[in-house]
Amino acid sequence: MAELKERMSYPEFQKWQAFYAHEPLGEKRLDRAVALIVKMMTAQAGKDIEFDKLLPQYWHDPRQEENYPTPEELAAKAKAIFGAIRNNAT
């Protein structure tokens, strides 16, 4: 702790605390790990997905895209997915 006090001012420490509260450092690494697992699983299934497409776009709002689905379209997709899961479970 003494070394930290020598190398970093309290105001800088407060800025890092605020940054970490907004965007924890470890989560990005976890996102990359999960994306890598998904990429490997999809590659085994014969699909090639760009690694960057599997990572969350923290500062990008997808609702600004032209092809963003409407709430009704999302609901229809969810019903189709859960219906298929329910049908396969029986």
The pTM for the full model equals: 0.38
* Residue 4: pLDDT band with limits 50, 70, 90: confident
> Exposure string (b/e) for 51-65, b if CB count within 10 Å is 16 or more?
eeebeeeeeeeeeee
Residues 11-49: tens digit of each pLDDT: 988 888 888 777 666 665 788 888 888 899 888 888 888
Question: pLDDT tens, 47-59?
Answer: 888 888 888 777 7
**Phi, psi dihedral angles at 28 (to 5 degrees):** -65, -40
Mind listing the pLDDT tens digit for each residue in 69-83? Answer: 788 988 998 888 887
